[in-house]
Amino acid sequence: MVEQEGIRRYVAHFILWIGIAIVAFPVYLAIVASTQETGVIANGQMSLLPGGEFLKVYYQTIFVGTSGSTREPVGTMMFNSLVMAMLIAVGKIAISIISAYAIVYFRFPFRMPIFWLIFITLMLPVEVRIYPTYKIVADLHMLDSYAGLALPLIASATATLLFRQFFMTVPDELLEASRIDGAGPFRFFWDTLLPLSRTNMAALFVILFILGWNQYLWPLLITTRDDMQTIQIGIRKMITTTDALTEWPVVMATAVLAMLPPVFVVVVMQKLFVRGLVETEK
Amino acid sequence: MQKNAIFQSKLLPYALVAPQLAIVLIFFYWPAAQAVFQSFLQQDAFGLSTTFVWFENYRDLLSQPDYFATILRTFGFSFAIAVSSLSFALLLAVMADKPLRGGTLYRTLLIWPYAVAPPVVGVLWIFMLHPSLGVLSRYLRALGVDWNPLLDGDQAALLIIVAAAWKQISYNFLFFLAGLQGIPKSVIEAAAIDGARPMRRFWTVIFPLLSPTIFFLLVVNIVYAFFDTFGIIDTMTRGGPGKSTETLVYKVYTDGLLGGNLGGSAAQSVILMVIVIMLTAIQFRFVERKVTY
């Protein structure tokens, strides 16, 4: 047994709590600020303890929005973010799992070139081809639409690779057995492969949902209508105007609302989250 | 790569890959090819005619001292963010790797910032360190620091680096913890029996065994700093004051918004692509080595 006793253990606890404090403090401050009055914060007199405006501020944020810079209620923005995140997560999983199935379980001409075409997309995030992509989405009349928000972000290979890797580990006997039972490619996929992939799909879903919810540059470019804004875009527009006019409690309430769903997912589905993170990064 | 047991079908596999292939071709290859193509073109002032100019756009771009400064700044930011975030996360991971009471609670409390979006990170930090109303700015001024990141370029850069590193702590922590837990306890115990004290054990045994993880994270963090800092910069400083927080991605974005020089914008995108491909290639090479280490 390696020595672990005494003072070292206390030092470890101490350092970890300092780390937690550093990580949590900015968020604590946001929560506190979202319960105070605009004037008090603008004066730089903000208290470090929660104020009494919680209900008022959050009601205004969710149902009304700021009174100046963006009149769009944050509730609408959250709905847009939710739709976009779900489309990205579900869409990517759906198209990836079937193409991985084709690549692993069928032999057909151009199989490898197709695999490489998909694989190479891993290399380039949407940021480096942002304006040409914008132009294509505009030409397809998909600006200010959910399809325009989600489709370009679905074009990447991570999920395909993951499913391919997983399918390779599925024993051949399973396929032979279901073939003896008279199952065709659809039955095998639906009754055998899909149930086996459930954990992988869930882990991937968690990661993709967070990534989708947190998208910024792409929605910033292609949404022009206020009612199509995602929450990440809304929050920036709220602090656009000169400092004096920024309604900080509303901004901070929006920040808290923007953090809530993904943080909730990480904390509640921690196992799946860690698994998804480690597997998509390989 | 392929199973022995497979299905026979002529058309079905194409139908199965079709949706992904269509999306990848329309939203990935087509725009990427256009960026490359446009980077060789030059439009006249009225946008009426275009000429093929080979590498002139690139030559123009690279001869601008401004652009060169942005490249250097981006790499500077990346290393500063990566090194500060990695070292702090490693310290936390080493502490959390000990058999402590409440170990899983610590992990939960440290990993959630992964889920905070970059623009939200920007808003949180600018609020905290805003020159006129920031809570921490009060203390900085009390300490005699003339704190104003909205006017002082160096302070703005520092603010971006700290905020970006903050967000990345949880990610690095998670991978370091996994890396530490993958080191066989017997190795550490052997070193302890040989009389190595904890500090020495860390530097001579644990740190070298962790080096694949460190290298992997270094690349991931640099890529993160290239791209995901966009949201942080855009909500905090908008690239300013002056150009003191303008990164390559931010420059592509602002130059594109201004419109005008299409070829120059495209050339910028292509340079960015080349940098990312190089980083990814380094990462892939390394991942292969990691398997055998």
Q: Which residues of A touch B25 (CB under 8 A)?
A: 117
- Pairing, β B50-52 against β B41-43: antiparallel
State mean pLDDT over A59-69. Answer: 73
For residue range B143-191, what is the model confidence (pLDDT) as tens digits?
878 888 788 888 889 999 999 999 999 999 999 998 888 888 888 888 8
Cβ separation A185–B7 shorter than 8 A: yes
Tell me the pLDDT of chain A averaged across its residues.
84
Amino acid in the structure at residue B93: A
By the CB < 8 Å criterion, does A24 face chain B?
Answer: yes
Q: What is the pLDDT of residue A52?
A: 76
Q: What is the pLDDT of residue A70?
A: 61
State mean pLDDT over A162-179. Answer: 87
The shortest C-alpha distance from B172 to chain A (Å) reads 11
By the CB < 8 Å criterion, does A142 face chain B?
Answer: no
Cβ separation A216–B125 shorter than 8 A: no
Quick check: A2 pLDDT over 60?
no
**Cα Rg of chain A (Å, integer):** 24
B147 vs B139: CA distance, rounded Å: 10
Cβ separation A172–B29 shorter than 8 A: no
- Residues with Cβ within 8 Å of A37's Cβ and at least 6 positions away in sequence, in order, are A51, A53, A249
Cβ separation A136–B272 shorter than 8 A: no
Q: What is the pLDDT of residue A4?
A: 54
Residue of chain A minimizing CA distance to B220: A281
For residue range A101-136, what is the model confidence (pLDDT) as tens digits?
998 988 888 888 888 888 888 777 777 788 888 888
The region that residue B144 occupies, defined by phi over 0 for left and psi between -120 and 50 for alpha, beta otherwise, is left
Residue found under tokens 């070298």: B208
Q: Which residues of B touch A236 (CB under 8 A)?
A: 119, 123, 234-235
- Choose, out of A23, A49, A112, A245, the residue to mutate when testing the contact with B (most B CBs < 10 Å): A23
Alpha helices, H only, chain A: 7-33, 38-42, 54-63, 74-105, 111-120, 130-139, 146-154, 158-169, 172-180, 185-187, 194-196, 198-213, 217-222, 231-238, 248-268, 270-280
Cβ separation A263–B112 shorter than 8 A: yes
Q: What is the pLDDT of residue B291?
A: 40
Quick check: A1 pLDDT over 50?
no
A25 vs B126: CA distance, rounded Å: 13
Cβ separation B3–A105 shorter than 8 A: yes
State mean pLDDT over A247-258. Answer: 87
By the CB < 8 Å criterion, does A270 face chain B?
Answer: yes
pLDDT < 50 regions, chain B: 290-293
State mean pLDDT over A189-196. Answer: 90
Amino acid in the structure at residue B58: Y
The shortest C-alpha distance from B182 to chain A (Å) reads 13
Q: What is the pLDDT of residue A282?
A: 52
The shortest C-alpha distance from A138 to chain B (Å) reads 12
- Residues with Cβ within 8 Å of A76's Cβ and at least 6 positions away in sequence, in order, are A227, A229
Q: Which residues of B touch A8 (CB under 8 A)?
A: 98, 198
Q: What is the ipTM of this complex?
A: 0.87
Q: What is the pLDDT of residue A101?
A: 92
Of A4, A124, A214, the CB nearest to B117: A214
The shortest C-alpha distance from A180 to chain B (Å) reads 12
Angle CA(A169)–CA(A170)–CA(A173) in degrees, nearest 5?
A: 130
Answer for the pair B248, B272: CB distance below 8 angstroms, yes or no: yes
Q: What is the pLDDT of residue B45?
A: 63
